Amino acid sequence: MQEDFWELGGRKFSSRFILGSGKYSLKLIKAAVEEAGAEMVTLALRRANGGQLDNILDYIPENVVLLPNTSGARNAEEAVRIARMARELCRTDFIKIEVIKDSRYLLPDNYETIKATKILAQEGFVVMPYMYPDLQAAREMCAAGAACIMPLGAPIGSNKGLATKEFIQLLIDEIDLPVIVDAGIGRPSQACEAMEMGAAAVMLNTAIATAGDIPLMAAAFKAAVIAGRQAYLAGLGAVCDTARASSPLTGFLHD
Amino acid sequence: MEDKFFNASIYDAQAKEYAQNCRTDHMQYLPDMEIIDSDLLERVTAARNNCQWQQYTIMEVKRALAKGKRSIEDFKALLSPAALECLEEIAAAAQRERKRYFGNSVNIFTPLYLANYCENYCVYCGFNCHNKIQRAKLTNEQMEQEMQTIASTGMQEILLLTGESRKMSDIEYIGAACRMAAKYFKVVGLEIYPVNSDEYRYLHRCGADYVTVFQETYNSVKYEQLHLAGHKRIFPYRFYAQERALRGGMRGVGFAALLGLDDFRSDALATGLHAYLLQRKYPHAEISISCPRLRPIINNDKIEPLDVHERQLLQIVCAYRLFLPFAAIVVSSRECARVRDNLMLLAANKISAGVSTGIGSHGKEHLGDEQFEIADTRSLQEIHADLQERGLQPVMAEYVYV
């Protein structure tokens, strides 16, 4: 099989697993990179900004792309300001836009996200918008200059899987940018399913961070993402309601 | 009617005598106090008054534990006397939520007391205006020295506190402290006397983004008996402080009942509901809840939190976590290291370190006396090491001012 790359912001990635931000520890980052093969790791600027006694940046290997996000932003203007700070601090043009004004469910605000996408894309950022899977909003993000779109499967950290599956499928079918399923994936089987649907990659954190054995769960996700991707490339068989022999009616024909 | 929850340890002879005197209407706003259009007080009070704790059985508790998302009724069941029998299961469920929302991280902050002048007569508090203690207020220079000392330990989040005296610690003074704190720290919070929304807006522009106000007790009758004089006596003005703070542009607000002043179950219920209803009204608001128990003060070392023992405290903290899984839960240095560290593992996620409740205590000179006796005197480095030893990840700041 040919090597299977995907591209974003002029970089080639072979891994289709991205580590999300949220629950951070040295053990988690190590497992994500070494066991799950992550080539991109998200970091909330508000955490990087903290000047921790242990600097989280020290844990991230140099060959891994650091993806800062704008978590903490409640509108487009705040997202833009955080993105500019992130560019300075993390020395990268990659930015994941998160605009959230709901502290209970942490659902993204598509309207403000579109506005932030437009401004940041014009400033040369590689804009990766986190969004609620709405086709119209996704089209506007494309038009605004997004580099990919990142629909949620279920609320952040919920481990509820692909609750928005039908709508994510529409985005994959209709949008000509990589679709990265972000948030909600709680099991390797759900990551596999997202990849079978044709997602370019999946992003997750909590499912691994809260596992009993972090490295083992990271390895399980790696295998699941690869299996799902291969199934997508292979072409899945159609689903039908009854059993079907290979040629029940025309099997007698010889020439 | 006899008060089943009367805490005799709080009242000294002077307070008893004062309480006999003519007292003002604690529900009546004073002329300078902003009145906002809100019905939260009525809703919280009604829920507190109508709760029949004895109606909840282990069955309701187990049902609440089995749910993914808990209702107000579930919250009541978890706080009920019946729930104490399933404390182990409650702790296990709380730990799962804590882990799901916060992983193993623990946020660390420290309080800085700017002044201990106070115009209120809160009979249980060391700063009350009738308590004979050494009073002080940091000058700008002393403030800067204290902040430099604290920042040099690696601390990134600061909570600025004053006694409740508008005269001695006016808004401009507090604003100047916020501006200075914003230079040395990433996160600036306030625990000061309640103010109007335009004043919160001013303080927000000076660099503060979080406001904590303890309601002490949500029983307005008991509140009146405990807060004998001063602006703090006005119960509804205090209750609406968090809402005014949010309207003034603050990012987050903190709540607490001082456990041991009245029926702790009813006060915990009211605290949780106050936070819950406000977040529903202002969905962007970041919510934080503290769980303080009464502590001894200078000139009254007899004060104790009555029937709020460690088991009850754990029950309350877990009930808060299960009802409001996304909220920050703070356990202050009123509790000892053993209790705090275990609560961090199970349900809470925010802890203070390097604490002193006196004035000027981080420098060489002790300028003013303490608000209460603390039970955990560990430095930031000690708490950092102890948390790591327990598999927790200390986080110094997770925030950006925008």
| Chain B residue with Cα closest to A159 | B100
Looking at residue A239, the DSSP 8-state letter turns out to be: P
ipTM of the modeled complex? 0.77
Bridge partners (DSSP) listed for residue B159: B111, B189
* Percent of residues in chain A assigned helix, strand, coil, to nearest 5: 40, 15, 45
Residue A23 a catalytic site member: no
Q: Minimal Cα distance from A105: which residue of B?
A: B326
Nearest CA in chain B to A155: B101
For B57-77, write each residue's pLDDT tens digit: 999 999 999 998 999 999 999
CA-based nearest residue to B327, from B380, B268, B255: B255
Chain A residue with the nearest C-alpha to that of B328? A103
Structure tokens at A226: 């690869």
pLDDT for residue B402: 82
Using CB atoms, which residue from A25, A81, A210 is nearest to B402?
A81
Contact B205, A70 (CB under 8 A): no
- Residues B20 and B339: their CA atoms lie apart, in Å, by 39
Residue B228 has pLDDT above 90, yes or no: no
Among A103, A106, A156, A159, pick the best mutation site for testing chain B contact (most B Cβ within 10 A): A103
Gap between the Cα atoms of A110 and A116, Å rounded: 10
pLDDT of residue B357: 85
H and E: helices and strands count for chain A: 9, 10
Of the partner residues B105, B384, B400, the one whose CB lies closest to the CB of residue A23: B105
Res A53: pLDDT? 52
| Domains identified in chain A and CATH numbers | 6-234 (3.20.20.70)
Q: Do strands B157-162 and B328-331 pair parallel, antiparallel, or not at all (unpaired)? A: unpaired
* Residue A209 pLDDT level (bands cut at 50, 70, 90): confident
User: Chain-wide mean pLDDT for chain A?
Assistant: 88
pLDDT at B165: 87
pLDDT for res A54: 59
Query: Cβ separation of B286 and A103 shorter than 8 Å?
Result: yes
With contact defined as beta carbons under 8 Å apart, do B85 and B57 qualify? no
With tokens 């089209």, the residue in question is: A139
Beta bridge pairs of residue A151: A131
State mean pLDDT over A73-80: 95
Higher pLDDT, B245 or B361: B245
* CA distances for B83 relative to B43, B48, B51, angstroms: 24, 18, 15
pLDDT of residue A253: 80
Which 3 state secondary structure label does DSSP give B115?
strand
Tokens at residue B199, please? 């004043």
Closest by CA position to B106, among listed B314, B399, B401, B398: B398
pLDDT at A145: 97
Enumerate the domain spans of chain B: 97-395
The pLDDT of residue B399 is 82
pLDDT at A52: 54
Nearest-CA distance A136 → chain B (Å): 25
User: Is there a contact between A46 and B400 if contact means CB atoms under 8 Å apart?
Assistant: yes
Whether the model pTM is above 0.90: no
Residues of A in contact with B286 (CB under 8 A): 103
Interchain proximity A52–B284, CB inside 8 Å: no
Q: What pLDDT does B158 receive?
A: 97
Note the pLDDT of residue B227. 83
User: Is A206 in Cβ contact with B100 (below 8 Å)?
Assistant: yes
pLDDT for A15-24, tens place per residue? 999 988 767 6
Residue B338 has a pLDDT of: 94
Question: pLDDT by residue (tens digit) across B322-344?
Answer: 999 999 999 999 899 999 999 99
Task: Supply the pLDDT for residue A46.
Answer: 77
What is the percent of chain A where pLDDT is above 90? Answer: 55
The CATH homologous superfamily of the domain defined by B97-395: Aldolase class I (3.20.20.70)
The closest CB to that of A46, out of B102, B105, B399, belongs to B399
Average pLDDT along chain B: 91
Show the tokens assigned to A190: 């759900």
A contacts of B394 (beta carbons < 8 Å): 52-54
Reported as a single tens digit per residue, the pLDDT across A113-158 is 999 999 999 999 999 999 999 999 999 999 999 999 999 999 887 8
Partner residue facing B284 (CB), from A44, A52, A103: A103
Confidence band, pLDDT 50/70/90 cuts, at residue A55: low
Listed in sequence order, the residues at least 6 apart from B64 whose beta carbon sits closer than 8 Å to its beta carbon are B70, B73, B74, B75, B77, B78, B322
> How sure is the predictor about B1, in pLDDT bands with cuts at 50, 70 and 90?
low
pLDDT tens string B126-138: 788 787 888 888 9
Residue scoring higher pLDDT (A34 or B274): B274
Q: Which of A23, A30, A96, A101 is catalytic?
A: A96
Secondary structure class of B127 (helix, strand, coil)? coil
Question: What pLDDT, in 10s, does the model give residues A172-205?
Answer: 999 999 999 998 899 999 999 999 999 999 999 8
Interatomic CA distance for residues A227 and A218, integer angstroms: 14
Tokens encoding A21: 């931000």
Contact B289, B257 (CB under 8 A): no
The residue type found at A121 is A
CA-closest candidate to residue B111, choices B339, B321, B370: B370
Contact residues for B339 (Cβ-Cβ < 8 A; gap 6+): B310, B313, B331
Q: Are B399 and A157 within 8 A, CB to CB?
A: no
DSSP state of B189: E
Interface residue ranges in chain B relative to chain A, Cβ cutoff 8 Å: 99-105, 154, 156, 186, 279, 283-287, 326, 384, 393-400, 402
